[in-house]
Structure 1
Amino acid sequence: MATAAVFLDRDGVINKDKGYVSQIDDFEFIDGSIEAMQLLKAHGYLLVVITNQSGIARGYYTEEEFMTLTEWMDWSLADRGVDLDGIYYCPHHPGKGIGDYKQDCLCRKPNTGMLDSAGKELDIDFANSYLVGDKLSDIQAGQKLQLKANYLVSTGKVLCEKGAEAADGVFTDLLSVAKAIVNG
């Protein structure tokens, strides 16, 4: 039986976006983000991280460095009672990538490749799922799959008017979104 999920962008939603975060020392959880994920898990939602990582494509850090940070983040959350159900990333960039990473792929948001993969692997009920991001491309990915709602938070990128208009709601942070989701 398919299960509802909350798709989460990483930088700007879960952690402070300091620009191409790739080292543990640079990773800082946004206040309330862990509590938000605990709340969503307690209400039965799958939690799936979907993150564009063009820093890999640009050669700023390697996939191995990204994986090291991702494992640390995953364990840090597990230690606080948050088991992520999936972590998907896109290492490509269509214009600024180097070598094989320079490509117009299906996984980079606003494309839906990461969400499609999660949907198949985790049996996700898209019609009852949510997406939380900090920019227009996040919202567009969720809209393409007709998720129940696609929300922006103001803890990441500076909100653009197009993104705010496209979103089903704009919230101050992930905790505010989580409370709105669980309270219907």
Structure 2
Amino acid sequence: MTSGVPAVFLDRDGVLIEDTGYPHLEDQLRLVPGAPEAVRQLNQLGFLCVIVTNQSGVARGLFSEDQMKAFNALIVRKFAAKGAVIGAVYACPFHSEGRVEAWIHPDHPDRKPNPGMILRAIAEHGIDPAKSFLIGDQPSDMEAARRAGVPGFRFEGGDLYAFVQDLLGH
């Protein structure tokens, strides 16, 4: 079997962008310090960068699925403008306590701590889990990584580029 692509799974709110409380509008988009530089370096090292993000704001009726998709596309463009490529975005709009019927689910397989988004990305992009890892800021991120069979690293704020430098042993 040929070896797959190495990837870094990145949580969105609190890792790539500041968690301003269900951000979904352009004026709420603030990049975490060092985030574009971190993604750019990971790209240069051959990693596919994949966002995996719970977005319960859709289920809660705070914004629409289309608004969520547009905001994620905006994030990808903002990073691309800084030479940082995000290769794929997986977002889970489901939540057990949602208010929008279509998005209510008691325990959706994609909602972290479940590993669904990571496992789908692995399958859809030919990713090698043995060469991949996740960066998240919540215990649910670490649990999703564990369940998907990839190492998880907890980012607790600050400069993402410095965090990635430390992770890679640079």
How many Å apart are 1:97 and its aligned residue? Answer: 4.3
Aligned mates of 1:82, 1:23 — CA distance in 2: 21
SS in structure 1 at match of 2:79: helix
Distance 2:147 2:162 in 1: 24
Matched, 1:142 2:145: yes
What aligned pairs does 1:4-153 form with structure 2 within 5 A after superposition?
4-103=6-105, 104-147=107-150, 149-153=151-155
Offset, 1:173: 4.0
**Equivalent residues of 1:13, 1:173 under 8 A apart:** no
Name the count of aligned residue pairs: 167
Q: State how far apart, in whole Å, the 1-side matches of 2:154 and 2:76 are.
A: 23
Give the TM-score taking structure 1 as reference length. Answer: 0.86
Distance 1:67 1:21, change over 3 A: same
Range moving further from structure 2, 62-71 or 15-24: 62-71
Per-residue CA deviation, residues 81-123 of structure 1 (Å, 9 max, x unaligned), is: 1111110000000123420211021000011110111001111
Give the aligned partner of residue 162 of structure 2. 176
Instruction: Provide structure 1 residue ranges, at least 5 long, that are not aligned to the other structure.
Output: 156-171
With over 3 angstroms needed to count, the CA separation of the structure-2 counterparts of 1:121 and 1:85, relative to structure 1, is same
Structure 1's consecutive aligned runs of 4 or more residues displaced over 4 angstroms after TM superposition are none
Query: What is the Cα-based RMSD across aligned positions, in Å?
Result: 1.3
In structure 2, runs of 5+ residues without a counterpart are none
Residue 5 of structure 2 is matched in structure 1 by 3
Q: Report the AA paired with residue 61 of structure 1.
A: F
SS in 2 for 1:132: strand
Deviation at 1:16, TM superposition (A): 0.5
Letter in 1 for 2:140: S
Identity over aligned pairs, percent: 34
In structure 2, distance between residues paired with 1:111 and 1:66 = 20
Tell me how far 1:68 sits from its aligned partner: 1.4
Residue 176 of structure 1 and its aligned partner are, at CA, apart by 2.7
TM-score (norm 2): 0.93
